[in-house]
Amino acid sequence: MVAALAAPPMTLGFARTDGYLPIAAYGLIGDCRSAALVGSDGSIDWLCLPRFDDPSLFGRILDASRGGHWQVCPVDAYRAVPRYRDRSNILETIFTTADGMVVITDFMPVDEDTIEHHARPHREPRVVRIVECLTGTVAMRHQFKPAPDYAAGRVRFRAQGWRVHANSAALHVCLQSTVEVSGATARWRMRAGDVIALALRSDRCGPCTSLQRQWSVEHARDLARGTQEFWWKWIDRCRYEGPYEKHVVRSALALKLMTYAPTGAMVAAPTTSIPEQIGGPRNWDYRFTWLRDASFTLYAFFQVGMVAEANAFFSWLMHIGLARHGTDVANLYTLDGEARADEVVLDQLSGYRNSSPVRIGNAAIHQLQLDVYGELLDSAYLYARFGGVISQSLWAELRAVVNLAIDRWELPDASIWEPRGRDQNYTYSKMMCWVAVDRGLRIADRFDLPHEGARWRAARRDIHKAVTSRGFSKRLNSFTQALDGEELDASMLRMAQVRFLADDDPRLLGTIEAVGTHLGDGVLVHRYDMARGGDGLPGDEGAFLLCSFWLADALAHVGQQEKAQLWFEKLLAFSSPLLLYSEEADTRTADLLGNFPQAFTHLALIGAAVNIERARSRTMGVRGLRRRAPAGKRPSKRRSPRSA
């Protein structure tokens, strides 16, 4: 056997504590239908099959002992360095021991022909792992310990030759290997040039069909080449030109992994219940699509040239039944566009580092969140700005949403942060109702669509007056969390993006200054003051990376380009080594917190990078909508204000 080293295994300074890796130690692989978290120690600790929102097969990240995992790593002490293959979502982890070096290549196969097929049980590999010894001799340990159905089901896996398999509640799960596996744990001695290929399949329940499917190292490498080609072709469409290309490209690749290609929907994150505070109860399921993410998603995709993804997302958005009868709009939807997300607590899982409860589903679906009206209309406005056509049938739904915003804007609601306490008259929600009416008027004007012009213009004036007169504190020199209140809220940084006020308005400049000063901790920004505001939940939380990037974005919008750039560049240090971001960061340790990776954070990063470059060189971005000119007349050259 290889002699043990004195030092414990290290993975870029990461080590397991009580069975858990830091969040920053994970990489993400996926096939645009599901995704897996791969630890820097070679352990797949999160995977749901056949798609993002199905029950987990591996859930070690939510329970180190019961959750299930699939790990390949050296037996003896090692140093591990994970990295993505250039401009792809293929993950390589290089393990170095005292006697040799091994690289493990992890990916989920994807190609143009199948990417839009719905996730379903099938015979092809969903996860492939290629283990190759590069130098010397290395003893490797293999552990395959699935825990189907969030570790609720009792399933006995059995080894037969070169496979380990079992029927779970809904799937037949089968591991195939190019070397014999005798059980849940195996050891292999590898010498330079040796290669082992592993494939995980999830077929329908019943007799195992893997024996009918040939598996080999050559097949694995063919899948890797095809997957690499897919990612290269896809990312070559990225049109960002600026100093932050590496981070923008990685964010785009991560966002693509969080997109459910068959419908165009995007999950807020591929995980559930990773805590916002270690040991705290703020643990939510983010495997849904939030409507408020819509305009951020479209803006990010359009601005970096991902037009197909933007159009697919808008198509999904417009087919989920928005206010068809003028009655309501849900806050979040499943990947299929269903307004269904019943929240359930999984008592069998202890939670990441004993942070309970572990939840699936999200009760926020039942809240009134008025800001989504503005996000929807801003999405339609962005779509039209980039060449999309607003049809009569679509306009009927959008028009109903505008009328909902007008009818309800004075109601208290839960707004963007979804607190579990009482509803309030949040200033952000009022502002976004103004956005709904404003964008509705602009779209109607551009496409000569029927609308209640006088009523809508009056409502736009009334909402604007209410926000500016009751939502601004002279004492704080800032817009506030709630009307007639004195608490700050980082969501008001969005005022610059939605063009609620002119860029040089002193009230906007004061808000940016106040949020950075009073809610900032260095360059990290909190949503609001937890000690003063309260949100109906015990415990604390980290700083929101989304809000931190919003502040850089706002500075760019108001012309403080150098300050925006410095703020943005400091935030880049809070990514994981693989340039991935979670929802929050601990302001003391800089540890990542919350579900991971977080789409909202990566969308905000791209938006800030684009707007900083626009402020610097004015080479990015598009003009606003112009009204169609009557026949025989030249179009006006007057430029409309921009959105976001």
Angle at 53 between CA 47 and CA 57, to 5 degrees: 30
Does the pLDDT of residue 636 top 50, yes or no? no
Q: Dihedrals φ, ψ of 20, to 5°?
A: -115, 135
Average pLDDT of the chain is 90
Please report the pLDDT score of residue 6 as a whole number: 38
Which segment of 5-14, 342-351, 437-446 scores lowest on mean pLDDT? Answer: 5-14
* Average pLDDT of span 29-36: 97
Does the pLDDT of residue 620 top 70, yes or no? no
The second-level CATH assignment, the architecture, of 237-617 is Alpha/alpha barrel (1.50)
Question: For residues 232 and 24, what is the distance between their CA atoms, to the nearest angstrom?
Answer: 25
Give pLDDT tens digits for 125-150. 999 999 999 999 999 999 999 999 99
Please say whether the beta carbons of 292 and 372 come within 8 A: yes
Residues 10-234, CATH architecture: Distorted Sandwich (2.70)
Please state, as a whole number, how many other Cβ atoms lie within 10 Å of the Cβ of residue 281.
Answer: 17
Using pLDDT thresholds of 50, 70 and 90, give the confidence band for residue 634: very low
Confirm whether pTM is higher than 0.85. yes
Helix H or strand E encompassing 497: helix 494-497
CA distance 495 to 501: 7
E-strand ranges in 496-559 read: 520-521, 524-525, 543-544
Confidence at residue 9, expressed as pLDDT on a 0 to 100 scale: 64
pLDDT tier for residue 623 given thresholds of 50, 70 and 90: low
pLDDT for 253 beyond 70 = yes
Q: How much is the pLDDT for 12?
A: 65
pLDDT one-digit tens code per residue, 301-340: 998 989 999 999 999 988 887 755 456 788 999 999 998 8
Distance CA 491, CA 546 (A): 10
Extended strands (E) in 287-379? 289-290, 332-333, 344-345, 359-360
pLDDT > 90? residue 184 = no
pLDDT higher than 60, residue 508: yes
Confidence of residue 511 (pLDDT cuts 50, 70, 90): very high
Which range among 142-156, 157-171, 308-322, 578-592 shows the weakest confidence by mean pLDDT? 157-171
Question: What is the Cα–Cα distance from 502 to 498, expressed in whole angstroms?
Answer: 10
Cα separation of 529 and 280, whole Å?
Answer: 17
Sequence-separated (6 or more) residues with CB below 8 Å from residue 261:
32, 33, 115, 116, 312
Residue 643 has pLDDT above 50, yes or no: no
What pLDDT is recorded for position 580? 98
Model pLDDT, residue 627: 57
- The pair phi, psi for residue 487, each rounded to 5°, is -110, 145
Highest-confidence segment of 29-38, 286-295, 305-314, 379-388: 29-38
Average pLDDT over residues 85-100: 96
Query: With DSSP H G I counted as helix, E B as strand and the rest as coil, what are the percentages for the chain, rounded to 5?
Result: 35, 20, 45
- For residue 543, give the 3-state DSSP assignment: strand
CA 119/CA 526 separation, integer angstroms: 37
The residue to which tokens 């969140």 are assigned = 369
Measured distance CA(509)–CA(549) in Å, rounded: 17
Question: What are 71's strand-pairing partners?
Answer: 43, 143
Confidence category of residue 166, pLDDT binned at 50, 70, 90: confident
How many percent of the chain have pLDDT more than 70?
Answer: 92
- Both structure tokens of 120: 């379903």
Residue 63 has pLDDT above 90, yes or no: yes
3-state secondary structure 563-612: HHHHHHHHHHHHCCCCCCCCCEECCCCCCEECCCCCHHHHHHHHHHHHHH
Specify the pLDDT at position 436.
Answer: 98
> Sorting pLDDT into bands at 50, 70 and 90, what band is 7?
very low
Share of the chain above pLDDT 90, in %: 75
Beta bridge partners of 171: 204
Q: What is the pLDDT of residue 625?
A: 62
Give the model confidence (pLDDT) of 356-414 as tens digits. Answer: 999 999 999 999 999 999 999 999 999 999 999 898 989 999 999 999 999 999 999 99
Burial class (CB in 10 A: 0-12, 13-18, 19+), 448: exposed
SS3 60: helix
Instruction: Please give the sequence-ordered ranges of beta strands (E in DSSP) within 294-399, or none if there are none.
Output: 332-333, 344-345, 359-360
Say if residues 583 and 269 touch (Cβ distance below 8 Å).
yes
Query: Using CA atoms, how far apart are residues 600 and 373, in angstroms rounded to an integer?
Result: 18
pLDDT, average across residues 418-435: 95
Mean pLDDT to the nearest integer, 521-546: 87
Domain boundaries, the chain: 10-234, 237-617
On the CB side of 343, CA atoms within 13 Å amount to 16
Task: Please give the structure tokens belonging to residue 579.
Answer: 């340039």
* CA contacts within 13 A on the Cβ side of 167: 8
Distance of alpha carbon 54 from alpha carbon 126, whole angstroms: 14
The sign of the CA dihedral 436, 440, 441, 442 is: positive
Q: Label the pairing between strands 163-167 and 171-177.
A: antiparallel
Query: Residue 88 in contact with residue 72, Cβ under 8 Å?
Result: no
Cα-Cα-Cα-Cα dihedral sign, residues 114, 117, 118, 121: negative
SS3 474: coil
Q: What is the mean pLDDT of residues 234-253?
A: 94
